[in-house]
Amino acid sequence: MADKEQQIQELRKILDTLREDIPLFAQFVFGATLSPKQIEFCEAWRTKRTITFRGGTSLGKSFIEAVVFWHSLVCLDHVQVSIFGPSEPQLQGGVWKQIQQLHDKMHPMFKDAFEVGSRRATRKINPSNCFGEYRLASGDRPDNARGIHAYSNYVIVDEATGIDDEVFTGALLNVLSDPDGKLCLVSNPSKASGFFFRTHLDPDISASWTQVHGTLYDSPNYNPETFEQLAKNYGGPTSRQYRCMVMGEFPLSDVDGLINREFIDAAVLNEDCVPADNVPVVWGLDPAGAGKDASVLCVRHDNTLVGFHEWQGLEPTPLAYKIRELYEKAPKKERPAVISIDATGLGNGVYSILKDWGLPVHACIFAGTPTRSPDRYSRIRDQLWWEMREWIHSENVSIPNHQRLIEELATPTYEDGSGKIKLEDKKAIKKRLGGRSPDYADALAISFAVSKTRFASKWNWSKPIVYDNLQSFE
């Protein structure tokens, strides 16, 4: 009797240790070593109530879901773990298969304590208060996700991007009302909309969620040679599949964007562009002031986006000084023929100061009337983005492999149902960019406000550069 009591005490000590250390639990119970990204997820699961995990391929997401499933059933006495997914074959062939396989690998001390069926696992002692199961989640049948209550009520939503919003808002969020409720979403980020997307990138709700993000390169089986080839199979860096499956990022849009991703990709990879000597350098400035966004200056020479300069938190006067300093330091042949500035609001001050100093500036009013083809565009902003689109689609341009620029170019959609091209509202673009403004893409677009050389890479333009009569550029 004393020996049995001692064994119970030893088991309790082991469980107390394993309860606080999921990687140690995986090693002790299954003989499994977790990757750094899997450990990050486990720590979020152990310490937080709302967790959202997006990741690319080969991360072992189903495996780590199975690990925390068993950790909960082994280490807690009153717990219910429910796994939801959009389809039964997906659940059976994915996470539930991993749960069954891990049960087979369990340390004998724990294996015989559980019964595992085709969709439910229970502890033999106290089975009604310690069990786990999988259920289907459907917008047509949200009742499947209701009525789940337990002291430790843990819900894992597998392939969460495929679950209708009504299931979350109408049922699953209710588990958080239980004393120890926990809601965890896991998925490839294949849609730029929906509740799962919002838990990562919508400022209104993402702050209340703990985000875990993994890429192909976080795989526990990462091998540089084979994985680089695997990454190439998903397409270029701006393709939907590459972003989702390699980088673990959401697609930039659920619909085709204004600028085709294939052309952006080609421009990034194009190393053969040579700017024409008789085409002037043009700068585009998108001022931002002291807020969250950056003031960005784009340097473009003919068919080549040379690069960017950016400053954070500068008011008009110090920003103007920065621009003048760059202008004066630039070799004469690299100085811009025109510095085009978004002169709306704060930008008007920068424009006025630089104009007083004698620099070749042009005021671009994004919300103004189009200067070219007014019957085709709603505003100058629409006109310039469309002309930038045609420049990129000419297939003889080069842009840097600048991740933020690439995202900003590929994100906006447009409509033309009114007979005029209208770019997606900036507020909507910012939301899908995680709350930031498309500063780099706007700066590039502004560089097309006065220069007819946007097509110079395809049709050469040899008019002399005019510095004192900017109207001739329009």
| Whether 302 and 178 share a structural domain | no
| Whether 286 and 209 share a structural domain | no
Q: What is the pLDDT of residue 469?
A: 42
Residue of 238, 221, 241, 165 whose CA lies nearest to 406: 238
pTM equals 0.62
Whole-number Å distance between alpha carbons of 56 and 188: 6
Residues 41 and 49: beta-carbon distance below 8 Å: no
For residue 248, being part of any structural domain is answered with no
> Mean pLDDT over all residues of the chain?
87
| Whether 40 and 186 share a structural domain | yes
| Whether 344 and 458 share a structural domain | yes
Q: What is the pLDDT of residue 458?
A: 40
At residue 468, does pLDDT exceed 80? no
DSSP secondary structure of 345-408: THHHHHHHHHHHTT--EEEE-TTS--SS-TTTBSSHHHHHHHHHHHHHHTS--B----HHHHHH
pLDDT (tens digit per residue) in 90-142: 899 999 999 999 999 999 889 999 999 999 999 999 999 999 999 998 655 55
The Cα-based distances of 71 to 76, 247, 393 in angstroms read 8, 29, 53
pLDDT (tens digit per residue) in 28-82: 999 999 999 999 999 999 999 999 999 988 899 999 999 999 999 999 989 999 9
Beta bridge partner(s), residue 115: 122
At residue 147, does pLDDT exceed 90? no
Whole-number Å distance between alpha carbons of 237 and 239: 6
For residue 228, being part of any structural domain is answered with no
Whole-number Å distance between alpha carbons of 109 and 37: 28
Long-range contacts of 428-433 (CB under 8 A, 24+ apart): 431/201, 431/202, 431/203, 432/192, 432/201, 432/252, 432/253, 433/201, 433/407, 433/408
CA 295 vs. chain centroid, Å, equals 22
Of the candidate ranges 27-36, 210-219, 264-273, 451-460, the one whose mean pLDDT is the lowest: 451-460
Please give the tally of structural domains in the chain: 2
> What mean pLDDT comes out for the span 273-301?
89
Whole-number Å distance between alpha carbons of 44 and 37: 11
When pLDDT is cut at 50, 70 and 90, the band that residue 454 belongs to is very low
Residues 24 and 74: beta-carbon distance below 8 Å: no
Residue of 326, 273, 334 whose CA lies nearest to 296: 326
| Whether 201 and 302 share a structural domain | no
Q: What is the pLDDT of residue 48?
A: 97
Residues 91 and 142: beta-carbon distance below 8 Å: no
> What mean pLDDT comes out for the span 166-194?
91
Residues 367 and 380: beta-carbon distance below 8 Å: yes
Of the candidate ranges 64-78, 242-256, 305-319, 369-383, the one whose mean pLDDT is the lowest: 242-256
Which of 171, 194, 222 lies at the terminal end of a domain, its last residue?
A: 222
At residue 279, does pLDDT exceed 50? yes
At residue 394, does pLDDT exceed 60? yes
Q: What is the pLDDT of residue 453?
A: 42
Q: Classify residue 205 by burial, with Cβ atoms within 10 Å: 0-12, 13-18, 19+.
A: middle
For residue 230, being part of any structural domain is answered with no
For residue 241, being part of any structural domain is answered with no
Q: How many CB atoms lie within 10 A of CB 348?
A: 16
What CATH number does the domain containing 318 carry? 3.30.420.240
For residue 191, being part of any structural domain is answered with yes
Residues 423 and 414: beta-carbon distance below 8 Å: yes
> What mean pLDDT comes out for the span 339-343?
96
What is the pairing mode between strands 79-85 and 130-136?
Answer: parallel
Q: How many CB atoms lie within 10 A of CB 50?
A: 18
Which of 194, 222, 250 lies at the terminal end of a domain, its last residue?
A: 222
Ranked by mean pLDDT, which of 136-140, 198-202, 287-291, 453-457 comes out on top? 198-202
Phi, psi of 175 (to 5 degrees): -65, -20
At residue 229, does pLDDT exceed 50? yes
When pLDDT is cut at 50, 70 and 90, the band that residue 146 belongs to is low
Q: Classify residue 108 by burial, with Cβ atoms within 10 Å: 0-12, 13-18, 19+.
A: exposed
Q: How many CB atoms lie within 10 A of CB 444?
A: 27
Whole-number Å distance between alpha carbons of 205 and 373: 42
What CATH number does the domain containing 171 carry? 3.40.50.300
At residue 471, does pLDDT exceed 60? no
When pLDDT is cut at 50, 70 and 90, the band that residue 452 belongs to is low
Q: What is the pLDDT of residue 51?
A: 98
Sequence-ordered list of residues with C-beta below 8 angstroms from that of 157, at least 6 positions apart, any chain:
83, 84, 85, 137, 163, 168, 172, 183, 184, 185, 186, 187
Containing structural domain, residue 442: 261-473
Q: What is the DSSP letter of 171?
A: T
Which of 222, 253, 277 lies at the terminal end of a domain, its last residue?
A: 222
| Whether 204 and 345 share a structural domain | no
For residue 229, being part of any structural domain is answered with no
> What mean pLDDT comes out for the span 443-447?
96
Take residue 455 and report the two structure tokens written for it: 């097509």
| Whether 322 and 408 share a structural domain | yes
At residue 261, does pLDDT exceed 90? no
| Whether 148 and 275 share a structural domain | no
Phi, psi of 267 (to 5 degrees): -65, -35
pLDDT (tens digit per residue) in 352-386: 999 999 999 999 998 889 988 888 888 999 999 99
At residue 144, does pLDDT exceed 90? no
Phi, psi of 82 (to 5 degrees): -115, 130
> What mean pLDDT comes out for the span 220-232?
83
For residue 204, being part of any structural domain is answered with yes
| Whether 209 and 313 share a structural domain | no
For residue 240, being part of any structural domain is answered with no
| Whether 165 and 83 share a structural domain | yes
Percent of the chain scored above 90 by pLDDT? 59
